[in-house]
Amino acid sequence: MSVFIETNSESLFKHGEELCGDKVEIVRKGDVTTIVLADGLGSGVKANILSTLTSKIAATMLSEGADIYETVETVASTLPVCAERGLAYCTFTILRVNTDGKAHMVEFDNPQAIILRAGKEVPVEKKEITIGDKQVLESRFTMQEGDMCLAFSDGAIHAGVGQTLNFGWQRDNIVEYACRAYRKDMPARAMTKLMLSACNSLYDGRPGDDTTFVTTRIRHAQPAFIMVGPPVDPSRDKELVERFLKADGIKVVCGGTTSQIVSRVSGRDLRVKIDYKDTGVPPTGIIEGIDLVTEGVVTLAKAYEIMKIYMSEESEMEELFDIFKQDGASRLARLLLEDCTSAHFTVGRAANPAHQNPDLPIDLSLKLRMVKDIAKILRQMGKEVEVEYC
């Protein structure tokens, strides 16, 4: 199957701490994605060092071909010993999943990860094995398209202890909540953000422990082809448009002149969609067979702003509610962030005569920079991005 392993992680810092004692490393190599969530003993600098070492060692070893058992042994023997407690301790969850959906998970003292399928928890058989002096839980299972794996640190199950909840947010409660919140097309980012928001709310905004969630979701691969700007050489119009139209995936055209070229070459009408609300973003167009037709630079800049807010760890949940509106920029941002799994930009470098006005702060370099910035965000998300200049 042609799938994409979508991952996302985020942490809540313990109230008053500047460093997080949880660390997540995600390494993609070939068709295998390795996710390591490590939670260091205590909090602050020490915990941060422990978890960083653990996650880095584990992720590097695993991605370089070492097996999980060897990795765990190495981690155990290399961690520095805490002077106060005399312990070298860091709990972790390691998940390796390939594009066939085969998953191998090892958990050491972290709350057990949750596997969700169609809004229900999938029970996974786990066996306890001893590696070195550590008792770890090992499981092998197959993930299907739409499945989600939620791994989290113990900060989540301590959420609200003695504050809003007597015994904290027990794993069963987390499972129930995750099942209720699950939606078929829910991006990994949305699930992570939601779970953390719930923990933060249960902690009453003052987390008593570092809390981290990593969401891994198996989804159908959906490439996006984005055509931005006309090519320098007009004789390539036909070739580029035909290739664009033949591509299998989401198709987006950004720019007025570019849309006219696509319309002319394809022989399909270009119509302007009426915006009932003034959103400050130029209206979108409609070309049959094209998923989205937008204006160029202004829309790209606005879409980039939205993508930055969406990805920012500082963004509050409230900011994300209405981030996607019905205007062109919001639709483009959503398409790139949530709908596609890889992106191919065809960026035309022809100068736009409309941008020659010295009063307008728009030039070709701005457009190119926008595309680069957007590509950077997509790569951060683990999506493959190609930028082709013409």
Partner 1 sequence: MVIRTLVLKLHRPTAAKRLLLDQAIMRYNRALSYLFEHTQDNMETVLKEMQGGRAHLTRRIMGLLKKELMDKLNVFGVQPFKDALKMDYAMMMVAWLSLRRTQRKARYPQVLDEELFERRFWETIREFDDGMIGRDGLKARVNRLYNGYGISKPLFFGRYAKNRDYCLLYDEEHDRFYAKLYLLNVKAPERRGGIARGSCRLRYVTADRALLEEDNRRERYIVAPLSFGKEQEAVLKEGLQNPGIFKTARLLRKNGAYYLSVNIACECRQKERSETYMGIVRSLKEAVRYAVVDRKGIPVAEGGLPYGEKITTKNGMHAAANELVRVAQEYKSHIVSYRMGNIGDKLTYGAERARLTAGTFNQLMAMVNYKAELKGLKKPVFVSPRGIFTTCPRCGTNTQRNRFPGGRMICVKCGCAGDIEKNGPLNAARRLLKYRGTTLLFYAKKTEAGLLIHNDVLRLAYLAEPTQEGIKGFFKFVEEKVREMKRQQDRLCGGTAREVSYRKRFMNIQSARDEISIVDEE
Site residues for partner 1 per CB under 8 A = 160, 164-165, 173, 176-177, 180-181, 193-202, 274-278, 283, 317-318, 321
The minimum distance between CB 298 and partner 1, in angstroms, equals: 16
113, amino acid identity: A
Which CB sits closer to partner 1, 275 or 373? Answer: 275
Q: How far is the CB of 270 from partner 1 (least distance, A)?
A: 14
**In the complex, least distance from residue 168 CB atom to partner 1, rounded to whole angstroms:** 12
Q: Which is nearer to partner 1, 23 or 193 (CB)?
A: 193
Separation CA 103–CA 97 (nearest Å): 4
How long a stretch of residues is the chain?
A: 390
3-state SS of 56-108 is HHHHHHHHCCCCHHHHHHHHHHHCCCCCCCCCCCEEEEEEEEECCCEEEEEEE
Q: Which helix H or strand E contains 33, and what residues bound it?
A: strand 32-40
In whole angstroms, give the CA distance from residue 119 to residue 148.
9
State the minimum distance, in angstroms, from the CB of residue 131 to partner 1.
36
Cβ closer to partner 1: 84 or 322?
Answer: 322
Residue 10, strand partner residues: 213
Shortest distance (Å) from residue 176 CB to partner 1: 7
In the block, residue with structure tokens 């609300």: 277
Q: 317 vs 351, which CB is nearer to partner 1? A: 317
User: Which residue in 54, 209, 206, 243 sits closest to 134, CA to CA?
Assistant: 54
User: Given the complex with partner 1, which of 160 and 256 has the nearer CB atom?
Assistant: 160
